[in-house]
Amino acid sequence: MFSFQKYPWAIVGYTPRDYKTNNDSDEISYYIPSPGQDYSMVLTGAAFVHREFLRMYTKSLKPEVRELVSNLFNCEDIAMNYMVSDFCRCGGTYFVQGPKIVNLGVDSKGLWNRPGHGKKRDLCTNAFRKYYGYMPLRRKPWTCA
């Protein structure tokens, strides 16, 4: 059975991400986990989601989250992960070991390649936690769905 069919109320994808907490400041930072490390998000560029989550993102996403995503032109994938995890009150993501995903945008002017991209993602990760009033993301071990 394909992982999406096994976990229809989750984001099932190939590219895991996570956050780190600075114990001194309680600020969190977005980061790319190494193989074997836990993860709490999956990038949505190569992922499967239930169509209900697309409806919820369009119609029910917290207005302050939508505004920040629109203003920064960034973080829609982080917003989707927060929304799904908040909805299911569980780790709403599954990493799938699959074919090597080739980024055809290498050497391009993609968002990930622009100055300040990481800082924007840190800002979103902290702001979304504040908007939700808690941290909905749940860490999972690096195992395949």
Amino acid at 78: I
- Could you tell me the sign of the dihedral formed by the alpha carbons of 96, 97, 98, 100, in that order? positive
Which pair of tokens denotes residue 74?
């960034």
Neighbours of 11 (CB within 10 A): 25
77 is catalytic: yes
Check 24, 77, 86, 107 and give the catalytic one.
77
Q: How far is the C-alpha of 52 from the C-alpha of 110, rounded, in Å?
A: 28
Please give the angle made by the CA atoms of 107, 109 and 115, to the nearest 5 degrees: 105
Ramachandran class of 89: left when φ > 0, alpha when ψ lies in -120 to 50, beta otherwise: left
Which are the catalytic amino acids?
77
